[in-house]
Amino acid sequence: MSAILPPATLGMLGGGQLGRFFVSAAHEMGYQVWVLDPDPHSPAGRIAERHLQAAYDDYAALDELAQGCAAITTEFENVPADTLDYLAKFVTVRPSAAAVSVCQNRIAEKTFLRDHGLPHGAFAPVHAEDDIRNANAGLFPGILKVARFGYDGKGQAVVNDRDEALAAFRAFKGETCILEQKLNLDYEVSVVLARDENGVVKCFPTAENSHRKGILDVSIVPARGSACLRDSAAEYAERIAEKLGYIGTLGVEFFVSRGQLYVNEMAPRPHNSGHYTVDTCITSQYEQQVRALCGLPLGDARAHSAAVMVNILGDLWFEKTDSGEHYREPDWAKLAVVPNLKLHFYGKHHARHGRKMAHFTVVDSDFDRAVKIAMEARAAIGIRDE
């Protein structure tokens, strides 16, 4: 297709923080944005030219979006693939419904990895209790996960044996699941990349990630460990994008177990572990999303400094005292005094436990100093290891 140039209007399905960053990037590049999201307090909708407050299967709203936008993308992998398919009849949609549908279902995702010779942990689909009773014993201890709509540690349970797996399956009300072998984890890494309509790929530096309660806590760039492992992760991510026929920004999460890489999951959108690209890279993951959507050449993905990104969850707004839990604003002054720290709020309506509210990124020419400053700042505002 010919390039879509400013001041064209772009469409965004989903209105969370990833969508908000997309809107900001598009605005800086001269575009207007319409956001479709059912949340009346959508962070992206608040700064877009228009917020269509509607469900993702509201066809009247989809028709309006298609008529008003030159191209449409998503920031949320659980937008129904049928919605993307429908919109694609009228307007450019990137990534495609076919690519997104693979990432929406853990069974489809692991099957895709197996069929394309990409490294992954052992797994078995679970549609009924007998699938657990007949599962290979080598899958235990394992993790039982719902096949769809699980995120940030939700919809999954560690299961040491068949009895625990059966109990978890019943707790998930018999929803289709996947049983994955639990790997001995060294650490986790991720690669965010952008791929354009010509198959050109730009990979951002591989990040090392740590989690708390299943939610991303800290991302360190570049990932510690060998350059060979970082390069291998990028190569696998590129292969995934190619095999998916992917156009847009894609996040790929990996486990490192006994020094070997295993693909954990793919996110057909910008990724939380790629927040650092806003402050550390020549082109951010969100600008790349705009460029790929509009048929523009991809930007340079190089990092100009080391970076440490720290997630700020809604838990920080709740202080525990002898008389109970009290709501209070965190002491942002402790972050404001750090000159190479960049704080980003997401504009969410209210804080709650486990909700991603903001993040900060420390950038520095010295890797070790960046890590030290970020961890000190993290502790100063009250984020505690548990």
154 is in an annotated binding site: yes
182 is in an annotated binding site: yes
86 is in an annotated binding site: no
Q: SS3 for 207?
A: strand
156 is in an annotated binding site: yes
Radius of gyration from C-alpha coordinates of the chain? 21
Q: What span, in angstroms and rounded, lies between the C-alpha atoms of 337 and 266?
A: 37
Report which of 246, 296, 290 is spatially closest to residue 84, judged by C-alpha positions: 246
238 is in an annotated binding site: no
Strands (DSSP E) found in 284-355: 306-313, 318-321, 324-327, 341-345
45 is in an annotated binding site: no
Contacts of 10 (CB under 8 A, 6+ apart): 4, 26, 31, 32, 33, 34, 69, 70, 71, 72, 73, 290, 293, 294
334 is in an annotated binding site: no
Q: What span, in angstroms and rounded, lies between the C-alpha atoms of 325 and 304?
A: 42
- What six digits make up the tokens of 23? 């809107």
Q: SS3 for 100?
A: helix
342 is in an annotated binding site: no
183 is in an annotated binding site: yes
151 is in an annotated binding site: yes
- Dmax (CA) for the chain in angstroms is 63
352 C-beta neighbours (distance < 10 Å), count: 13
Q: What span, in angstroms and rounded, lies between the C-alpha atoms of 212 and 232?
A: 26
198 is in an annotated binding site: no
Which residue ranges are tagged as binding site? 106, 145, 150-156, 180-183, 188, 211, 264-265
Which residue ranges are tagged as binding site for ATP? 106, 145, 150-156, 180-183, 188, 211, 264-265
